[in-house]
């Protein structure tokens, strides 16, 4: 199989990086993401995992990918996929606005980029939160990490995180 790549961008800031899909380690997830591209939406900076930005999108796979190539300790440049139910993230305490933006009975997919070290996917409410590592940044992580730090300090309002075929 030919290598496949995605561009990951913070659109308002005009910053992007390129990631290689890990088809050999997470083939089901990679195919589901690839077929659904482009994907994106409002960006959030993680509260628990430390050095993570992510966007929430509606489920897009015909069947939820299995937990392939899992991690609870993502490294810089990892792209991760998480599937959550509406009850896991659909409460105001998660900070997605005054009303839950996740419709009852529908799940949500979290597509994340980890940009620095020392991440741990442990949520105080639910415990370990393993993610599927489906890609790794091969170009531009330094620029993206700088923009992610700016996002953390200056705020995410009005910024979008996008994933597109490269």
Integer-rounded Cα Rg, in Å, for the chain is 15
Contact between residue 151 and residue 88 where contact means Cβ atoms under 8 Å apart:
no
Contact between residue 22 and residue 30 where contact means Cβ atoms under 8 Å apart:
yes
Residue 98: both structure tokens together: 């005054």
Average pLDDT, the chain: 90
Q: Which of 23-27, 75-79, 127-131 has the lowest mean pLDDT?
A: 127-131
Contact between residue 17 and residue 143 where contact means Cβ atoms under 8 Å apart:
yes
DSSP structural state of residue 94: G
- The C-alpha atoms of residue 1 and residue 160 are separated, in whole angstroms, by 31
Q: What is the pLDDT of residue 96?
A: 57
Q: Which of 5-14, 85-94, 127-136 has the lowest mean pLDDT?
A: 85-94
- The C-alpha atoms of residue 109 and residue 15 are separated, in whole angstroms, by 23
């Amino acid at each position: 199989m030919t290598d496949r790549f995605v561009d990951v961008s913070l659109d308002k800031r005009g910053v992007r990086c390129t990631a290689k899909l890990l088809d050999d380690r997470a083939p089901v997830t990679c195919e589901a993401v690839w077929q659904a591209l482009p994907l994106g939406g409002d960006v959030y900076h993680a509260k628990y995992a430390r050095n993570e930005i992510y966007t929430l999108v509606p489920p897009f796979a015909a069947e939820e990918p299995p937990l392939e190539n899992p991690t609870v300790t993502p490294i810089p440049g990892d792209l991760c996929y998480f599937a959550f139910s509406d009850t896991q993230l659909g409460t105001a305490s998660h900070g997605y606005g005054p009303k839950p933006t996740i419709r009852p009975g529908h799940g949500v997919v979290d597509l994340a980029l980890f940009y620095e070290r020392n991440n741990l996917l442990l949520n105080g409410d639910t415990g370990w939160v393993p993610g599927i590592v489906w890609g790794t940044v091969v170009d531009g992580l330094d620029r993206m990490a700088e923009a992610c730090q700016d996002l953390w300090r200056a705020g995410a309002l009005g910024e979008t995180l996008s994933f597109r075929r490269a």
